[in-house]
Structure 1
Amino acid sequence: MTSRHRITLLPGDGIGPEIMAVARQLLDAVSRRHQLELVYDEQPIGGAAIDVSGEPLPAATLEACRASDAVLLAAIGSPQYDSLPRPQRPETGLLGLRGGLGLFANLRPVKTVPALIGASTLRPEVISGVDLLVVRELTGGIYFGTPKGRVQAAGEERAFNTMAYSSSEIDRIARVGFDLARGRRGRLCSVDKANVLDVSQLWRERVVALHTADYGDVELSHLYVDNAAMQLVRAPRQFDVLLTGNLFGDILSDEAAMLTGSIGMLPSASLGSDGPGLFEPIHGSAPDIAGQDRANPLAMVLSAAMLLRVGLKQEAAAADLEAAVDRVLEAGYRTGDLMAEGCSLVGCQAMGEQLLQALES
């Protein structure tokens, strides 16, 4: 029996259209294999939307996303838009999309691929077997707290931001972390700065209370964010699920990305209480190589796999996409960012062709 799903595609800017084309080919192939019917609705966002409508998130794009079962985003942004007022920049479109879909939980899985162990700057014995998940709160904290701004005071300019979390915001993201840990290896490490920050003291109190009340079967630990940053490069295998606020998660997830050897290998998901999730690679739009067939599409393909697993509950199809990525890397095919001695250099389109062959073999 065919399962039908509506997917909104947001190619965006820079290398976005190139890597999205590869992901769509793979989604089509895996859908045929698993009797899925994926109905696509492609919409503009970011700079591409500014070019056609003058705004980074047209109302029609947001409405299409809300009406879908899942949203797949490639990349947004380009230096040509940097001179625009902040409300009109491509990045504002992404923030508007997150807010418009009510997305508060960002999931970033970090899993080393045996074929790429040598690509990391860390020793193989340190990163071998790493399989962790960063759960980052996405709509609160210092990025959204008020008051914020810049003022003239005592003859000089002063800038300020406010880090703020409510108990309900903390409980909401903590439940996501605990639930995910329960489905993995049963360990959650909550990251804060409770020795210094009042907001972190509340964070820790709420996480402990929720653990005591509902998640006693999950092993809970705590780390200050500075120690967590050190431990990620000292002994990353100790982690299963890392639960963090917005600012700390932003920093730690990019640090964790380098455990895999390239930020071009990491997907992400942003989820809300209901409605469609947003799935995207964590790398940028790389405008310097856009249109040159040099982009690495693997994080985009792995984001499509997350869409299948998390957004559509299609575990077998997701596993097939991930296995295709593993087989292509084991066969020695590499884009420029992953290139190593003895491997075969391929472009974005050729990497897509190798993935299709691996999927269908």
Structure 2
Amino acid sequence: MKIAVLPGDGIGPEVTAEALRVLDALELEGLELTHGEVGAAGYRAKGHPLPPETLALAREADAILFGAVGDPACDDIERHLRPEQAVLGLRKELGLFANLRPAKAFAGLEGMSALRPDVARDIDLVIVRELTGDVYFGEKKREILPDGRRIGWDRMNYAEDEVRRIAHVAFRTAEGRGKRVTSVDKANVLETSRLWREVVEEVASEYPEIALEHMYVDNAAMQLVKAPGALDVVLTGNLFGDILSDQASMCVGSIGLLASASLGDRTTDHGTFGLYEPIHGSAPDIAGQGKANPMATILSVAMMLRHSFALEPEAARIEAAVAATLADGVLGGDLGGSTGTSEIGEAVVSRLITTS
């Protein structure tokens, strides 16, 4: 079982180290870890945020464990050389078009949510976000108009096959959950969203047991804070999904608690090839201080074991150990606590071992 470990920048190496510590505690046979540089680390070492050596390493792996990328020192370099292009490049080059971002309330942490505890405790949803289309990959341009004004634009577009394949992911995800899909768009304004809605309805006809509702993105943002417990599987595009998933993290309590899986069509001898990462950024303001919460990266390892290696019992053990650690009040600064990065990792390992 080959895992490409790409820690990246900022707090990426710190949280990745604790996630690997938890993985090691499982004592799985046949694991082969290889490390590579991405983001600002890749740019400084090889002159590119996604060096050819790192991309080759990722292609040869069964799964990728990704930390975080981003460095303010790189803000003024050319766009194609900025750290963030590493993860965008991996998604594109490896065909990782589907991002799964679970958001579930942890018992005892309802008070950490930005919502009322009685509202927050009902959160149990998955955002299925399309990853390789939309304005992120559309044509971009800046121009000077004849009157001297500057103008910039980004093209938003989706082809019907791109919408169809992500819709299938959402409906298949709903089959194993509450059998409800909420498709989020802006069809009252955007032609892209009108096509999105049409194609989603076509796919829905293949899943008669799944209830489908459509929701404008502004309403979806409101429902996430008004009645998040009514949402099960949320299907949406790249831009809207990016925004809503971060909002969902604060409904749960912290962006430091949300893991993600980026999947495509490729399968391996073990399961589905994927890239697994916390949804938080590189947090350069606390990098190297031992303050980062590694829970999201640890939970990303659980998703990796589940989706890429079909190791459901081991994935469930990690999730249970994380829940027990949080319930015991082992909290990082993002949750109002003072426990450091390595201490959180040690606490999860301890509970993982005692429940084996």
TM-score normalised by structure 1 residue count: 0.94
C-alpha distance in structure 1 between counterparts of 2:306 and 2:211, whole Å: 25
Return the offset for 1:84.
1.5
| Aligned position for 1:317 | 314
| Aligned position for 1:20 | 16
- 1:93-151 per-residue CA deviation (whole Å, 9 max, x = no partner) reads 221111111111111100010121111121011111211000011111122223x3122
| Aligned position for 1:73 | 66
| Aligned position for 1:236 | 228
Question: Within 5 Å, which residues of 2 pair with 1:66-215?
Answer: 66-146=59-139, 148-155=140-147, 156-212=149-205, 214-215=206-207
| Aligned position for 2:286 | 289
* Letter matched to residue 27 of structure 1: L
Point out where structure 1 has 5 or more consecutive residues left out of the alignment.
Answer: none
Q: Is the 8 A contact 2:122 2:228 kept in 1?
A: no
- 1:139-183 per-residue CA deviation (whole Å, 9 max, x = no partner) reads 11122223x312222412222222111111110110010110111
* Letter matched to residue 22 of structure 2: L
Return the offset for 1:48.
1.2
Q: Secondary structure at the match of 2:263?
A: strand
* Letter matched to residue 289 of structure 1: I
Return the offset for 1:258.
0.8
C-alpha distance in structure 2 between counterparts of 1:84 and 1:154, whole Å: 28
Structure 2 residue corresponding to 1:29, chosen from 12, 16, 25: 25
C-alpha distance in structure 1 between counterparts of 2:13 and 2:41, whole Å: 10
C-alpha distance in structure 1 between counterparts of 2:154 and 2:72, whole Å: 26
| Aligned position for 1:219 | 211
| Aligned position for 1:338 | 335
- 1:177-222 per-residue CA deviation (whole Å, 9 max, x = no partner) reads 011011111110111111222111111111111111x111111111
Return the offset for 1:37.
2.5
Structure 2 residue corresponding to 1:55, chosen from 48, 55, 58: 48
C-alpha distance in structure 1 between counterparts of 2:290 and 2:245, whole Å: 27
Alignment partner of 1:306 is 2:303: yes
C-alpha distance in structure 1 between counterparts of 2:353 and 2:96, whole Å: 34
| Aligned position for 2:270 | none
* Letter matched to residue 59 of structure 2: R
TM-score normalised by structure 2 residue count: 0.95
Q: Secondary structure at the match of 2:285?
A: helix
Q: Is the 8 A contact 2:127 2:245 kept in 1?
A: yes
* Letter matched to residue 192 of structure 1: D
Kindly report the root-mean-square deviation, in angstroms, between the aligned alpha carbons of the 2 structures: 1.2
C-alpha distance in structure 2 between counterparts of 1:195 and 1:68, whole Å: 43
C-alpha distance in structure 1 between counterparts of 2:308 and 2:238, whole Å: 22
Alignment partner of 1:249 is 2:237: no
Q: Secondary structure at the match of 1:333?
A: coil
Return the offset for 1:83.
2.1
C-alpha distance in structure 2 between counterparts of 1:144 and 1:86, whole Å: 13
